Amino acid sequence: MKKGMLILIVLNLWLLTGCWDVRLLKDNSLVVGMGLDVEDDDKVMNTSVIRQIKQNSGGTGKPATSNVIYSAVGNTLRETRSYIEKQLGGKYASNKMQVLVLGEDLAGEDILPIIDVFYRDPRNSLGAKLVVAEGTAKELLNMKMSEDVFISEKIFKALIETEEQTLIPGVSIQSVCPDLFDPGIDFALPYIKTKNSDTFDVAGMALFHDTSFTGTVLEGEDGTVLLYLNGEHGASSTLSFNVNPEEEQRQNQFITTNAFLKDQKLKVKVDKSHNVSVEINVKLNVTVVEYPKDHLFDHEKEIRLNKEISKQLTEKAEKVIEQLQKANCDYFGIGRQLIAYHPETWKEIDWPNTFPSIDIKPKIEVEITGTGILK
């Protein structure tokens, strides 16, 4: 009996805790997108897109929602958050955030101190996409609705789509974390351009050196080539090449292919005087999706096309690497390989100063594996 009473008391004690850490979904204001900019006096401006549900929707049917945008300026991110909470009738909940937009100016500085809070708080949305916006993030997010779709969702979906097309790397707050802390590897973030008042465009890859934006953006196919050189790939990519410059009609000059990464090898060589040279070999399989000239059943022609496309891609790759070195963005993580396999060299050289001048030889081989149902 005494034992029973004791158990009863202990069980009831739990009820006295009063749900102190409860965080009801309905009491939280969901932040779906956040934009960070730097203000004139070096303070941080936080622009938050908050999803709110309209009263008239009741409990039935589809809830009517709207985006509300709040901005606040503060010394740290948490400070701006508490300023926003003052304006907001609910708790600021950034744990379902989809995109974190960094303004161009803010990205140009060291971004680590600013996004530090995302790694520190376990409840944060680490899967949120990290992007750099042309101009300010506030401007981009203030679209509110882009073509009838909420801006944060629209950005998120556009990013997913461009990732699948191998135009930008698939990065999230989580995935850049190791790169931020590693001196031997740099990263790139998607770069978004505002076109007009309610459209934007995922333009390409914003190259970062260490933890700050270099100002260089690889646009279009350049990004694709860089990703392939690094062994990254989405679902596929669409590449066009001018293979018949002598044709009169412009469409006849081109071949359009869907490319798939087959193999990528990166070799780092270091000689005795600590000269670093790198070879990157990439093999691509492509299927022809558009080629009005046809006659691909001819093996000779196919080989000629293979060679031509490989040549053009390799040239492009050389240009991309030139840009990369100019921006001093060690996207391939060559430094990491040096740390791992050639630690003496790593100690000897000053990597940020060496990287722009090392010898990187790319080679892309292309093989046509499919031509669609036409030959």
Instruction: Provide the binding-site residues for another protein, judged by CB under 8 A.
Output: 14-15, 17, 19, 21-26, 28, 30, 32, 51, 53, 55, 57-60, 62-63, 65, 95-96, 98, 123, 125
User: Of 179, 204, 172, which Cα lies nearest the Cα of 191?
Assistant: 204
Q: What's the CA gap between 263 and 281, in Å, rounded?
A: 8
Query: Is the Cβ of residue 51 or residue 293 nearer to another protein in the bound state?
Result: 51
Work out the angle between the directed axes of helices 173-181 and 112-120 (0-180°, nearest 10).
120
Which of 194, 196, 214, 197 has its CA nearest to residue 206? Answer: 214
Q: How far is the CB of 96 from another protein (least distance, A)?
A: 5
Q: Could you tell me the smallest distance in angstroms from the CB atom of residue 32 to another protein?
A: 8
| Cα–Cα distance, 125 to 146 (Å, whole number) | 23
Report the nearest approach of another protein to the CB of residue 22 (Å). Answer: 5
Instruction: Please provide the size of the chain in residues.
Output: 375
Nearer to another protein, 152 or 214 (CB): 152
**Residue closer to another protein, measured from CB, 51 or 283:** 51
Please identify, using beta-carbon distances, which residue of 123 and 272 lies nearer to another protein. 123
Comparing CB distances to another protein, the nearer of 91 and 304 is: 91
Smallest distance, another protein to C-beta of residue 193, A: 25
Which residue number, 21 or 271, has a Cβ lying nearer to another protein? Answer: 21
| Residue 123 CB, nearest approach to another protein (Å) | 6
The SS3 call for residue 138 is helix
Between 9 and 22, whose beta carbon lies closer to another protein? 22
DSSP 270: E
Name 202's bridge partners: 192
Question: Residue 161 CB, nearest distance to another protein (Å)?
Answer: 16
User: Which residue in 292, 275, 286 sits closest to 345, CA to CA?
Assistant: 275
**How far is C-alpha 122 from the geometric centre of its chain's CA atoms?**
22
Nearer to another protein (CB atom), residue 28 or residue 71: 28
In this structure, are residues 168 and 204 in contact, taking their beta carbons and an 8 Å threshold?
Answer: yes
Which DSSP state fits 56?
G
**CA-to-CA dists, residue 12 to 4, 5, 6, 22, 63, angstroms:** 12, 10, 10, 18, 39
Question: How is residue 146 written in tokens?
Answer: 């882009």
Q: What is the CA radius of gyration of the chain?
A: 26
C-alpha 218/C-alpha 313 separation (Å) is: 15
In one-letter notation, the amino acid at residue 114 is: I
- Smallest separation, CB 14 to another protein (Å): 6
Smallest distance, another protein to C-beta of residue 70, A: 18
Sequence-ordered list of residues with C-beta below 8 angstroms from that of 89, at least 6 positions apart, any chain: 29
d(CA 107, CA 61): 42
- Across 229-358, the runs of DSSP E, i.e. the strands, are 237-242, 254-270, 276-290
The stretches of 17-89 forming alpha helices (DSSP H) are: 77-87
**In angstroms, what is the minimal distance from the CB of 346 to another protein?**
40
Task: Choose between 73 and 93: whose C-beta lies nearer to another protein.
Answer: 93
Please, which residue, 57 or 277, has the CB nearer to another protein? 57
CB 133 within 8 A of CB 139: yes
CB of 17 to another protein, least distance (A): 6
